[in-house]
Chain A
Amino acid sequence: MAAFVLGLAAAALFAFARTAGPQPARVAVAGYVEFIRNTPFLVQLFIIYFSLPAIGIRLDAILAALIGMSLNFSGYATEILRSGIEAVPKSQIEAGHSLGLTRLQIYRHIVVFPALRTVYPALASQFVLLMLGSSIVSAISVEELTGIINTLQSTTFRAFEFYFVATALYLAMALATRSLLHAIYVLVFVRGRPAAQGWAR
Chain B
Amino acid sequence: MSRDFEWAEFLFLLGALRWTIVLSLVAFVGGGVGGMLIALARTSTKALLRGLAAAYVGVLQGTPVLMQLFLAYYGLAVLTGVRLDPWPAVTLAFTLYAAAYLGEIWRGSIEAIPRQQWEAAAALPLSPSAQLRHVILPQAFRIAIPPTVGFLVQLIKGTSVASIIGFVELTRAGQLMVNVTFQPMIVYPLVAVLYFILCWPLSLLALRLERKIDAALGIKRHP
Contacts and interface: CB of A to CB of B under 8 A. Distances in A.
Nearest to A54: B185
B67 A46 contact: no
B153 A38 contact: yes
Contact of A135 (B66, B160, B188): B66
A166 B67 contact: yes
A15 B188 CA distance: 28
Contacts of B66: 135-136, 138, 146
Nearest to A175: B62
Given A40-B157, A42-B161, A50-B178, 15 more contacts: A35-B196, A37-B153, A38-B203, A40-B160, A40-B195, A41-B160, A42-B164, A43-B195, A55-B185, A86-B223, A90-B222, A135-B67, A136-B161, A163-B70, A175-B58
A34 B62 contact: no
A86 to B, nearest CB: 4
A34 B203 contact: yes
A87 interface: yes
A167 B67 contact: yes
Interface residues of B, number: 44
A51 B185 contact: yes
Contact of B200 (A34, A86, A139, A167): A34
A51 B188 contact: yes
Interface string B153-193: 10011111101100000010011001000011101110110
Nearest to B204: A34
A159 B69 CA distance: 12
Contact of A42 (B58, B171, B203): B171
A38 B67 contact: no
B114 interface: no
A38 B178 contact: no
Interface string A82-97: 0000110010000000
Interface of B: 58-59, 61-68, 70-71, 74-75, 77-78, 153, 156-161, 163-164, 171, 174-175, 178, 183-185, 187-189, 191-192, 195-196, 199-200, 203, 222-223
B56 to A, nearest CB: 12
Interface residues of A, number: 41
A39 B67 contact: no
Contact of B64 (A35, A54, A133): A133
A160 B79 CA distance: 10
Contacts of B158: 40
Interface of A: 34-35, 37-44, 46-47, 50-55, 86-87, 90, 128, 132-136, 138-139, 146, 159-160, 163-164, 166-167, 170-171, 174-175, 178
A86 B222 CA distance: 6
Contacts of A146: 64, 66-67
A167 B63 contact: yes
Contacts of A39: 157, 192, 195-196, 199
A12 to B, nearest CB: 19
A159 to B, nearest CB: 4
Contacts of B178: 50
Contacts of B156: 40
Contacts of A139: 164
B24 to A, nearest CB: 11
Contacts of A44: 192
Contacts of A53: 184
A138 B163 CA distance: 13
30 contacts: A38-B203, A40-B157, A40-B158, A40-B159, A40-B160, A41-B157, A42-B160, A42-B161, A42-B163, A43-B188, A43-B195, A46-B171, A46-B175, A46-B191, A47-B189, A50-B188, A51-B188, A51-B189, A54-B184, A54-B185, A132-B64, A136-B66, A139-B164, A146-B64, A160-B77, A163-B71, A163-B75, A166-B70, A171-B63, A174-B61
